[in-house]
Homo-oligomer: A and B are copies of this chain.
Amino acid sequence: MWGIKLNRSSDVSLKRQIYVALREHIIRGNLKAGETLPSTRQLALELQVSRNTIIEAFEMLNVEGYIVRRIGAPTRVAEGLILDTRTESRPSPGIEDIPEYIADFRTGIPDLRLFPRYAWQRITMKALSELCPSLLGYTGPQGMPALRQEIACWLHRSKGLVVDAQDIFITAGATHALHIVAELLYQDAQNIYFEDPCNIEMLKTFINRGFKISYIPVDQYGIQTDHLKNAPGYPVYVTPSHQFPFGGILPAERRAALIRFARHTGSYIIEDDYDSEFRYDGEPVAPLHAMDADRVIYIGTFSKTLFPALRIGYAVVPRNLQQRWCYLRTYTDVQNPPFEQAALAEFLHTRKLDRHISKMRKIYRERRQVLLSSLKEYFGDDWLVWGDAAGLHLTVEFQDAMFDDVFRQTARKELIRITPLDYHCIQKGVHANKLLFGYGHLEPAEIRAGIDLLHTFMKKAGYV
């Protein structure tokens, strides 16, 4: 009766089931405007529910204006509610399912299996129990003072970078920091200089904001700053500590040139320090930021040193940009959640990050060696490594090979995930003979097996 089927074992209350059923009938036009509804008594009887249930269901319909109730008059359906039958929606685009790779050389992933889970749990627990209630509310866009202080100390002891905690702005990772930087700088400059090649994903953040990209070629040392001579004053995005993807360390003379350019043109340098913690034959490189705190926006992340899903990064922001930064962050996503911030502050304070990094540095160094020896074992001498001994990936050049997206796709079919360097090039084709090997997340055995599989595939496909 009335096409109402009740599910008495459902989580949804009976009154709500009745309300939903009647509302659907009204919207679909099965119950016409002005039509009389049965009395609550009658409907209660028919549906075998208490009369109060019906009364409450009617009240819900009444409040939302689906029906009209008048004392002494029968309840009627309100006017002007019928909608023509709903347009059929297309099926949702299933998110591309990732195959189970046998050789997975994707870049930028630390080894999550070696993350100190229990230490992190204990610290989070501590943070949870000690956090004062006010920190559950809105605490402002800059981030937790304790964490900013700890990051300031850590930048000093690990990279010799002297910054004031009040100039540090917590973000939800490096991408998020760049997203805010894009919002921040867009009003003044609609163009931006990028290294070519660069991390093409970071590029997209600026393209989405509407930036036009001007690219500057990179050699084994990093961005070729002579191209900036007499160039218009747009912001410059650089990775001076460990150029992505080539891995060069930008020489001091080019660093000075970048600073001079920014000062001369009144523009800003965006310094993305994405993994300088991992250098294998020396100390981490000092950030460009040390040369001029007013012209450099320094961006750091804990995605590589701890884990990507942590979603905590930070930016050291020039003072004349800070007010606008706060404004934009407030109307972008307000702030970071407090628990990870408190936990990370403690993790830094107790030097657990320092210990974790030095432990992982040893492990990654070894894996890099394994990768190199495996390459030598399978590919002999017709390949060449680019860049400094650092980071979680390697750029390898193969004699007269051509790696394009076809290569990537065919390799994928063989369950090999590997990125041709061309993917990260703005100007395509210039570096088509290079491949990127991410190794940080792979154990030595996995690396060897991966290179073995890759070599077999490349021989078969005629790439070597």
The complex is assembled from copies of this chain, and their number is: 2
Tell me, yes or no, whether A38 is within 8 Å of chain B by CB: no
With A27-B291, A137-B308, A251-B65 in contact, do A334 and B176 touch (Cβ < 8 Å)? yes
Do B319 and A252 have beta carbons less than 8 Å apart?
no
Do B337 and A337 have beta carbons less than 8 Å apart?
yes
Do B319 and A63 have beta carbons less than 8 Å apart?
no
Selecting from A255-263, A356-364, A423-431, the interface stretch reads: A255-263
User: Within A201-238, which residues are at the interface with B (CB < 8 Å)?
Assistant: 201, 204-205, 208
Q: Pick the residue among B157, B259, B285 that contacts A12 (CB under 8 A).
A: B157
Do B251 and A333 have beta carbons less than 8 Å apart?
no
Do B16 and A283 have beta carbons less than 8 Å apart?
yes
Report the nearest B residue to A340, measured CB to CB.
B337
Selecting from A322-330, A402-410, A455-463, the interface stretch reads: A322-330
Q: Pick the residue among B79, B91, B157, B259 that contacts A83 (CB under 8 A).
A: B259
Do B311 and A335 have beta carbons less than 8 Å apart?
yes
Tell me, yes or no, whether A307 is within 8 Å of chain B by CB: yes
Do B64 and A292 have beta carbons less than 8 Å apart?
no
Across the interface, which residues of B come within 8 angstroms of A64, CB to CB?
Answer: 249, 251-252, 255, 285-286
Q: Pick the residue among B80, B109, B136 that contacts A115 (CB under 8 A).
A: B136
User: Within A79-96, which residues are at the interface with B (CB < 8 Å)?
Assistant: 79-84, 86-87, 89-93, 95
With A95-B142, A252-B78 in contact, do A172 and B286 touch (Cβ < 8 Å)? no
Across the interface, which residues of B come within 8 angstroms of A208, CB to CB?
Answer: 183, 328, 331-332
Report the nearest B residue to A171, measured CB to CB.
B333
A293 CB to closest chain B CB (Å) equals 6
Tell me, yes or no, whether A113 is within 8 Å of chain B by CB: yes
Tell me, yes or no, whether A42 is within 8 Å of chain B by CB: no
Tell me, yes or no, whether A419 is within 8 Å of chain B by CB: no
Do B86 and A308 have beta carbons less than 8 Å apart?
no
Selecting from A123-131, A376-384, A445-453, the interface stretch reads: A123-131
* A183-B333 Cα distance, complex, nearest whole Å: 13
Q: Pick the residue among B86, B332, B336 that contacts A294 (CB under 8 A).
A: B86
Tell me, yes or no, whether A339 is within 8 Å of chain B by CB: yes
User: Within A239-268, which residues are at the interface with B (CB < 8 Å)?
Assistant: 249, 251-257, 259-260, 263
Do A136 and B83 have beta carbons less than 8 Å apart?
no
Tell me, yes or no, whether A179 is within 8 Å of chain B by CB: yes
Do B121 and A309 have beta carbons less than 8 Å apart?
no
Do B179 and A333 have beta carbons less than 8 Å apart?
yes
User: Within A127-182, which residues are at the interface with B (CB < 8 Å)?
Assistant: 128-129, 133-140, 142, 153, 156-157, 160, 162, 164, 166-167, 171-173, 175-176, 179
With A249-B63, A252-B81, A256-B81 in contact, do A137 and B335 touch (Cβ < 8 Å)? no
Report the nearest B residue to A207, measured CB to CB.
B331
Which has the most chain B C-beta neighbours within 10 Å: A23, A89, A338?
A89
Do B113 and A133 have beta carbons less than 8 Å apart?
yes
Encode A289-303 as 1/0 by CB contact (under 8 A) with B.
Answer: 011111000000000
User: Within A328-356, which residues are at the interface with B (CB < 8 Å)?
Assistant: 328, 331-340
* A87-B339 Cα distance, complex, nearest whole Å: 38
* A26-B256 Cα distance, complex, nearest whole Å: 11
Tell me, yes or no, whether A310 is within 8 Å of chain B by CB: yes
* A322-B94 Cα distance, complex, nearest whole Å: 10
A164 CB to closest chain B CB (Å) equals 8
Do B89 and A318 have beta carbons less than 8 Å apart?
yes
Q: Pick the residue among B78, B120, B251, B285 that contacts A253 (CB under 8 A).
A: B78
Tell me, yes or no, whether A45 is within 8 Å of chain B by CB: no
With A309-B337, A319-B90 in contact, do A83 and B292 touch (Cβ < 8 Å)? yes
Which 4 residue pairs of A and B lie closest in terms of their CB atoms, listed nearest first?
Answer: A65-B251, A176-B333, A136-B307, A65-B252
Q: Beyond the given A23-B286, A95-B326, could you list 5 further A-B residue pairs with CB under 8 A, ordered by the A residue number?
A: A27-B256, A125-B125, A172-B172, A208-B332, A309-B335
Which residue numbers of A lie inside 8 Å of B, CB to CB? 10-13, 15-16, 19-20, 23, 26-27, 56, 59-60, 63-66, 78-84, 86-87, 89-93, 95, 109, 112-113, 115, 117, 120-121, 124-125, 128-129, 133-140, 142, 153, 156-157, 160, 162, 164, 166-167, 171-173, 175-176, 179, 183, 201, 204-205, 208, 249, 251-257, 259-260, 263, 282-283, 285-286, 290-294, 307-311, 318-320, 322-323, 326, 328, 331-340
